[in-house]
Structure 1
């Protein structure tokens, strides 16, 4: 049963920025959290059932904004600057659970998107004041699949509904898996251009790996394994210029990054602290977690769902085209020190959308310093964040804040 509660390697958090708490159920209110200093905002957490027959429920954690909350839009961040809701998805990760063990063997993109849609519909029934609010979705890493897939689900649901209430306005994706072929080529190029691998390995990988729908030959596996095991060194591939956690076992899994395009989350030693904290009974009780009463362990790293993932779209580019045609605001950003889903991978993928350029490439600024670079296309904005790793807000919170604020405002990033 422990595996029912284990976490996939990457934390698929949904961050939701909300406005007020009128009508919020008191049963979900958090009155105090161990170690948290006094706060002036309200917090709520609990479960939303997404499938009664299988006993599948998703866990969320809402923190409200401290100022001007009534003026804030609703933003779902799949993986803040206002009220924040963390939703652990799919079922089987974190505190989210299923009572049907077979759910862990047939999970995938399609069911995850469907469950997320059901969650939103039922969550807004619990918080009806957020219906019809301007709504945005954002996330990072494998949310490169989850965000556009959920956006399409919502768009299709709204079109089929006589009274739609999820007012989707746009999406934002950071360091996200986009297209297996172009992402893979871009990743190897990043490794080589940042001196992580030799010329020999670079040429060997490109010559032996096809990165298509078909399986790569064993010679491809050998070329990638050699580069990872013998040339990378002991660095954090999710942030190549910062110290790595010396007791992390994640490097053993990095060999599979290109062989199986599943993206893992950033893993400094803070993950260890998180596991200890969320496994405290008093913390779980305060957060209304583990409501089933079945003992289990919250863990940040698990391959349970990863090994049994049944469907993963090869490319999200067709979905992006649909969402662009629907008129949604779409921003894509990349922390430029991430080598797992690097900026080169994202640029290679987006380039094949063949979008007309509205505003040519330029540096954008925060506090008088270059925050990154950006280019605005017809229907999509791309931006880099200088000095940020795989999870941009973790490494460059101020630059991430300016990026996010510009996205919500629908304004181009500042040129000075």
Structure 2
């Protein structure tokens, strides 16, 4: 059965076929055990949800937590999209699902949920994965795994997760499959896509129907990320001329994972000059004045905090640590000894391998014909639009549609350029988490990506 079998199918016929696939494979009971009845404080909805664990390394006891939010029956058959947040060490449940593209928003009381009218599950089935082990509800029975996580193992475990998950949910096995994410998922997404692409060519490996990926404000290439970030800080008046010169002199040929002492010194000087702003959204106020950029130097890059916080992540910490919420999600079944958090400092601070550049992977996957989109909120000073543009420029791609403004209800929503093998889109006025700042424009972007059509002129 090929994916074309699903084209033009009515929602009712799709549901019957999906049930038939489940029954033939004898796995409906496994799915039913993962079904979410209703989350505490959740309004009634017309779509199904599932969550639970998939063991990716039985010997060491590594298991990854997932949350599937299906599209409503009227929107089916719809593609399947895996969403990954970065950090490294940050939760896709806490950010992607709860602040950005998921179906609900947690109210400030940390107890009740509102419907997100711009949720991406209006047009696709969303699969959120907390990765790697040690992030969110995902765990390992071998505590050393939390101190030795890195890019390679993260990709391998995510692939192992997908292979087993498709066995549990065989009705999705032939659906168009995409991967999306942001920030340090600029590493996760292309690396996992490359692994799937390569293993799909193996005779003995299970086939995954990967069609493409999209990444937003994505860590891509250390050299160009540094170059574009320092330029953004300087051109937006965030740092002095002298600090801009010093950063370029000491950091541009450095690894962002292990910068030199002089580079760190100048990054800290830049942090002090920027003051108490929200670097993830430079034109909006931080949640309060007690959290400054300099007070949270615990991220992958020494000068960044990893969590965007105009207060929203505080609500998630309350909600997902409630025992009744964890029971409803089938989460924390092993009694993890630490509370759920938006990011794991252990995983993030002890990150092992991190290649300096994703550009060779882009070249390989562009040649393979995968659909690839990159997007940038243009008020993000953490992985700014200038960094992404430098990285794309380094690919030396042929331009098919030159730089142009795209529109939403007659107003400019941002700008775009279409290359041979890659589409780039900016979202005007959005910060690091584009769907949080501009949810309407974000779902327009997502719809165009799924249709593989340029942004509306």
Please, what TM-score do these two structures have when normalized by structure 1? 0.90
Are residue 77 (structure 1) and residue 83 (structure 2) matched? yes
Question: Could you say if the C-alpha distance between residues 329 and 275 of structure 1 is closer, same or farther in structure 2, counting changes exceeding 3 Å?
Answer: same
- The equivalent position to 1:228 in structure 2, one of 244, 248, 271, is 271
| Alignment partner, residue 120 of structure 1 | 162
| Aligned-residue CA RMSD (Å) | 2.0
Q: Quote the offset at 1:257 in angstroms.
A: 6.0
Please tell me whether the aligned partners of residues 216 and 376 of structure 2 are also in contact (alpha carbons under 8 angstroms): yes
- The equivalent position to 2:362 in structure 1, one of 320, 331, 341, is 320
Please tell me whether the aligned partners of residues 257 and 340 of structure 1 are also in contact (alpha carbons under 8 angstroms): no
Q: Quote the offset at 1:255 in angstroms.
A: 8.0
Stretches of structure 1 lacking an aligned partner (at least 5 in a row):
1-18
- The equivalent position to 1:27 in structure 2, one of 25, 29, 33, is 33
Residues in 2 aligned to 1:320 and 1:73: alpha-carbon distance in whole angstroms? 23
Question: Could you say if the C-alpha distance between residues 402 and 95 of structure 1 is closer, same or farther in structure 2, counting changes exceeding 3 Å?
Answer: same
Moved more, 269-278 or 69-78: 69-78
Residues in 1 aligned to 2:178 and 2:140: alpha-carbon distance in whole angstroms? 27
Please tell me whether the aligned partners of residues 142 and 263 of structure 1 are also in contact (alpha carbons under 8 angstroms): no
Q: How does 1:107-186 map to 2 (within 5 A)?
A: 107-161=149-203, 164-186=206-228
Question: Could you say if the C-alpha distance between residues 257 and 118 of structure 1 is closer, same or farther in structure 2, counting changes exceeding 3 Å?
Answer: closer
Q: Quote the offset at 1:259 in angstroms.
A: 4.9
Please tell me whether the aligned partners of residues 78 and 138 of structure 1 are also in contact (alpha carbons under 8 angstroms): yes
CA offsets 1:78-100 (integer angstroms, 9 cap, x no match): 22133322210100010000000
Q: Quote the offset at 1:69 in angstroms.
A: 3.6
Residues in 2 aligned to 1:274 and 1:255: alpha-carbon distance in whole angstroms? 20
Moved more, 163-172 or 97-106: 163-172
Q: How does 1:51-62 map to 2 (within 5 A)?
A: 51-62=57-68
Question: Could you say if the C-alpha distance between residues 284 and 263 of structure 1 is closer, same or farther in structure 2, counting changes exceeding 3 Å?
Answer: same
| Alignment partner, residue 111 of structure 2 | none
Q: Quote the offset at 1:238 in angstroms.
A: 0.4
Q: How does 1:394-413 map to 2 (within 5 A)?
A: 394-413=436-455
Question: Could you say if the C-alpha distance between residues 266 and 145 of structure 1 is closer, same or farther in structure 2, counting changes exceeding 3 Å?
Answer: same
CA offsets 1:287-336 (integer angstroms, 9 cap, x no match): 11011134430011332012221100100000000000111010000000
- The equivalent position to 1:293 in structure 2, one of 335, 340, 362, is 335
Q: Quote the offset at 1:251 in angstroms.
A: 4.1
Residues in 2 aligned to 1:321 and 1:98: alpha-carbon distance in whole angstroms? 34
| Alignment partner, residue 337 of structure 1 | 379
Q: How does 1:295-310 map to 2 (within 5 A)?
A: 295-310=337-352
| Alignment partner, residue 219 of structure 1 | 262
Q: Quote the offset at 1:164 in angstroms.
A: 4.5
Matched position secondary structure for 1:68? helix
